[in-house]
Amino acid sequence: MLPAFATLLLCQLAGEAIVRAAILPVPGPVVGMMILCALMVARAPLPGELGDTADGILKHLSLLFVPAGVGVVQQLDRLGQDGIRLVAVVIVSTVIALAVTALVFAALAKALGTDDLSGGQDDGA
């Protein structure tokens, strides 16, 4: 478990270093996940228990939201001042993300020749 956990942390650390060095507007852990994904695609020698370790972390994912909750409580005055704007931004960004996802899915379905988005079910008409 320790080598697998170290691998996860090293990927995150590498992501943080790349983001800070290149001044990218992306969180370091996201870049770290891309590094881990690239290592997996390249079939690099990774610890065998990496999946079990990741599953163990995911089982306790709710604990990772405690710091975020504390941050929200610490900023309640700002939330009161800008709450309506924050809610609007969250709603608009969610709608944009859903629209982009749908457009990308439709484009990929068309490119792959699977324009039938009904799941291949025939209604008998």
Instruction: State the pTM of this model.
Output: 0.55
Residue type, 68: A
Q: In this predicted model, what pLDDT tens digit does every residue of 1-26 receive, in sequence order?
A: 888 999 999 999 999 999 999 999 99
Quote the radius of gyration of the chain (alpha carbons, Å).
Answer: 21
Q: In this predicted model, what pLDDT tens digit does every residue of 30-75 receive, in sequence order?
A: 999 999 999 989 988 888 888 888 888 889 888 888 888 888 888 8
What DSSP element (H or E) covers 82?
helix 76-111
What six digits make up the tokens of 87? 């809610």
Q: Tell me if 69 sits within 8 A of 41, measured CB to CB.
A: no
